[in-house]
Chain A
């Protein structure tokens, strides 16, 4: 039985032949009786991201958290975890773009603007960073 997913799941068409990592943003159950069964209805060709849960390095999460705290001028003891949403910390779109610039500098990568602006959590950023680093070294 197909499980319909909430709006946090989307699919992205990949044209490159490099290994693609998928990471789930909301680990709600998408498996039914041990069978993975996904069904999507795309009403129109919207670029989307498909994400399935994966592990990112703790080190990446920590570096991202540091940069986020710096950009938003948060206290050192402000709790920022992988699941923390930028908006919960008071970040607006200008903050998000500045965070992305900070991440690009720190990790030596370049993010496409559309993907950069869609980053919602620390985990999300870490996944994208590791994916880009992998693509770079592939």
Chain B
């Protein structure tokens, strides 16, 4: 079963502005040719080229849906006026992270990030703080041995956590959860892969909380034997969702220094642009 979800994130309660979060499109539910045509009319020429470059109809459709989701989501959540999704322009930051090019309006507070799987596309939007999002099919099979993969790419602490899980299915799921969390962080950071290699940071679940995680950065102090110092400051907030029992979605936002430690509200919506929109959940993360 495929679902589409959108989430909203509010930086603090004092802000009335709705922040959008990932919109997810269920690819299989979008079949209508006229609807797909309507979507393609929203895209820029470059985006259309991008869609055409994909090999195969399913991949083309997903690429189209992804761009549609980004444009319709961002334009919905404008703070001042209604924006035509077609009019949005995009650029990349110096590290290659996609951003909205607001052109004449400087310092717009909206940030976004997108992630997609075969069957679900998620777009996350926040106000004032950078955001990263990653979704994965829960049933995704890892072709390599999970622990070998983790030893190669994850941090030592994460490997230790995974190694203690005896059931291979549970272990595989934990591995995927960690993957989405780590990806979400790197994407939120927006400085490219080399800024945060996966084995230089640990994401651990916060005890006593459901779906809340903490980031610990490891820096090695060269010594004999080598020592590692860990910094588990705040600075970044994480949330992990189980969507419709089929996907994990991880969301990472920068902790706003002005409101450090303030609770985060995340609203998840399921949507098919121009067709339907449905509230899935509204949660507060402390």
The residues of A with any CB-CB pair to B shorter than 8 Å are: 7, 43-44, 46-47, 70-71, 78-79, 84-85, 88-90, 92-94, 97-98, 101-102, 113-114, 117-118
Contact = CB atoms under 8 A, between A and B. Distances in A.
B59 A90 contact: yes
Contacts of B116: 92
Given A90-B54, A94-B179, A98-B142, A114 B193 contact: yes
15 contacts: A46-B94, A70-B143, A71-B143, A78-B55, A88-B53, A88-B54, A90-B58, A90-B59, A92-B116, A94-B179, A97-B149, A101-B149, A113-B153, A113-B193, A114-B194
User: Max chain B CB contacts within 10 Å: which of A43, A85, A94?
Assistant: A94
A29 B130 CA distance: 37
B198 A113 contact: yes
A113 B136 contact: no
Contacts of B55: 78-79, 84, 88-90
Nearest to B193: A117
A97 B199 CA distance: 13
10 shortest A-B CB distances, which residue pairs?
Answer: A114-B194, A117-B193, A113-B197, A90-B59, A114-B193, A88-B55, A101-B144, A88-B53, A47-B194, A98-B143
Contacts of A90: 54-56, 58-59, 62, 118
B93 to A, nearest CB: 11
Nearest to A79: B55
Interface of B: 53-56, 58-59, 62, 92, 94-96, 116-118, 136, 140, 142-144, 149, 152-153, 179, 183, 192-194, 197-199
Contacts of A79: 55
Given A88-B54, A98-B143, A46 B95 contact: yes
A98 B144 contact: yes
A97 B116 CA distance: 17
Contact of B53 (A7, A85, A101): A85
Contacts, number: 55
Contacts of B152: 101
Contacts of B92: 7
Given A46-B94, A98-B143, A118 B118 contact: no
Given A7-B96, A113-B193, A118-B193, A94 B143 contact: no
User: Max chain A CB contacts within 10 Å: which of B94, B96, B117, B143?
Assistant: B143
A71 B153 CA distance: 18
Nearest to B54: A88
B193 A94 contact: no
A90 B116 CA distance: 10
Contacts of A114: 192-194, 197
Contacts of A71: 143
A44 to B, nearest CB: 7
A110 B231 CA distance: 28
A80 to B, nearest CB: 9
B282 to A, nearest CB: 28
Nearest to A112: B197
A94 B250 CA distance: 15
User: Max chain A CB contacts within 10 Å: which of B59, B149, B193?
Assistant: B193
Contacts of A101: 144, 149, 152
A92 B56 CA distance: 16
B153 A97 contact: yes
A132 to B, nearest CB: 16
A84 B56 CA distance: 13
